[in-house]
């Protein structure tokens, strides 16, 4: 098992890609910290599922955009497990409304969670990751590279920033902590299933493989980046987008 005796924090992991990633790490022997903001029942259910796989897990409620909550979360992890080996910055939100109908408050909240939250988690975990020569994986998006979707301009802008943050953190924390990113396109999650059929059909038409990704496909790439198999990768962004054009 690639992650036996490792401790991993996955933000926003009560559902979607985060949940799938937590389960994949647990199958590989890691102790998993399930971070959530609102979905307490889902987080606790995931903890039970992870424990059923024979791995350790705890759930911690924390809004990653709030600095003192992030600091407390990291302190709780160290108190519980004594170390932290891997950080997966996955928590993200989006407000799908026409660009000029978006409020300043919505823009600020998106940036606070998607970008500043990733910075805060990296800031407060880095000294512990340094001690274990651990690594960080940021869940970016191909929307941060090439996007023409004004309804998600806040999300797209935050992911542009996260790609840049990934590269800057890689430089700052080298050579002891590797920092990489994974950039999915459309993923088959509850959030995306609720979108209008015509929107999904149009977007899937841009994907060479002709379908959305399954959460586990993104999760396995995250595990690769966090593993020793990626020991010579840092500052890299892997696009797992089915060949989106």
Q: Supply the residues annotated as catalytic.
A: 155
Nearest residue to 162 via CA among 194, 188, 184, 140: 140
Nearest residue to 109 via CA among 117, 101, 120: 117
Distance CA 39, CA 45 (A): 10
DSSP states of 46-90 = HHHHHHHTT--EEEEE--TTSHHHHHHHHHHHHHHHS---EEEE-
Q: Which residues contact 56 (CB under 8 A, 6 or more apart)?
A: 31, 32, 50, 81
First to last CA, the chain: 36
Structure tokens, 39: 């979905």
Give the position of tokens 């949940």.
Answer: 19
Torsion angle, alpha carbons of 245, 119, 74, 29, to 10: 30
């Amino acid at each position: 098992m690639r992650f036996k005796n490792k401790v991993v924090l996955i933000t926003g992991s009560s559902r979607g890609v985060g949940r799938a990633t937590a389960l994949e790490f647990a199958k590989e022997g890691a102790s998993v910290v399930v971070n959530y903001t609102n979905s307490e029942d889902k987080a606790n259910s995931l903890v039970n599922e992870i424990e059923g796989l024979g791995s350790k897990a705890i759930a911690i409620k924390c809004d990653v955009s709030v600095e003192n909550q992030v600091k407390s979360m990291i302190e709780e992890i160290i108190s519980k497990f004594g170390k932290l080996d891997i950080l997966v910055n996955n928590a993200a939100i989006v407000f799908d409304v026409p660009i000029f109908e978006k409020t300043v408050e919505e823009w600020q909240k998106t940036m606070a969670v998607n970008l500043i939250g990733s910075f805060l988690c990296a800031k407060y975990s880095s000294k512990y990751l340094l001690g274990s020569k651990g690594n960080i994986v940021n869940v970016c998006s191909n929307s941060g590279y090439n996007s023409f979707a004004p309804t998600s301009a806040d999300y797209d802008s935050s992911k542009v920033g996260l790609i840049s943050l990934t590269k800057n953190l890689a430089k700052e924390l080298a050579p002891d902590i590797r920092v990489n990113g994974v950039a999915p396109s459309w993923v088959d999650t509850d959030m995306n299933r609720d979108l209008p059929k015509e929107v999904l059909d149009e977007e899937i038409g841009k994907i060479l493989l002709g379908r959305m990704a399954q959460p586990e496909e993104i999760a396995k790439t995250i595990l690769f980046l966090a593993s020793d198999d990626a020991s010579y990768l840092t500052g890299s962004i892997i696009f797992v987008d089915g060949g989106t054009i």
